[in-house]
Structure 1
Amino acid sequence: MRRLLVPLVLVLSVGGSLGGCGWAGRHAETSKPDVFQLQGYVSVGGAASGVPGTPCLAPTSVPDVVAGATVRAADADGKVIAVSSLDSGVLAQASDGFRCNFAFRMKNLSGSRPSYQILVGDRPAQTFQTRELTEGKPAVVTVTASS
């Protein structure tokens, strides 16, 4: 009986660890999925001064960066892969003054692409390296308010 118990415990512990990572139950796949959650924010300069961490709005010269605005992730050819929306703005102090930051997240992006383009409104795309994004570095889309 003791000989049977050791292999059984080993099988159960390996099976339990695979189940916890989401890999068990994906019987038709031949390799582990390579997906990640992209996190980032749109940072708009020229925000009114105030207490960092409090709600804010982007300057009126940037009317398309607001809570709920669409954010798109595209591959190197410009094909849209994922769509999300901006959270409410949060005031931050930077070396150049105050900025209003609007966070966003996109789930299940492939880690196999070399880079992603992030597009906000009709603004030019900004490119981010996938390796940095999978390591947890946020995609910071910088927008400068015009005067």
Structure 2
Amino acid sequence: MGIGDSFKRLIGAVALVVAGSAVAAGACRDDMVHLRGPGGEAAFRVELADTGAERAQGLMHRESLAASAGMLFVYPEPKSVGFWMKNTLIPLDMIFMDATGTVQRIGHEAQPHDERPVMGGDGIQTVLEINGGLARRIGISEGWEMRHPAVDQAAAAWPCTAE
């Protein structure tokens, strides 16, 4: 086990610890996103962007984002989604998920002010933005599952009621 493995676990632990007992209790709240995959679990305190105006504003003009924080973009139905970084001041990872809350693609380390779109593909219903590089450090990858009440619970890969 190398230093990199230890660092991944430390970052993952920080994300989980900041979330507090919500992960252990399996709580499902609008202000928390839980992710799980073969490498473990992570949790982020999120702001919800579920209206057109909130999605358009996103994280623009922010000078920082706590390591345990993010923004969850929620669309009324699955669609083709792309994001750009115009007026965004911090690097971001964009985690694109389908209607079941399953990670389909990750746009790693999108750079501030870049106007080239980061495309998530078709059938995307939610997008989680977190600090750039954090998804790799934690080990989040395609196939991970999100637990959040914005996901249709009847279709959710990891429903709020599951342990």
Judge same fold: TM > 0.5, yes or no. no
TM-score, length-normalised on structure 1? 0.25
TM-score, length-normalised on structure 2? 0.23
Larger Rg: 1
Instruction: For CA contacts below 8 A with separation 6 or more, give which structure has more relative contact order.
Output: 1
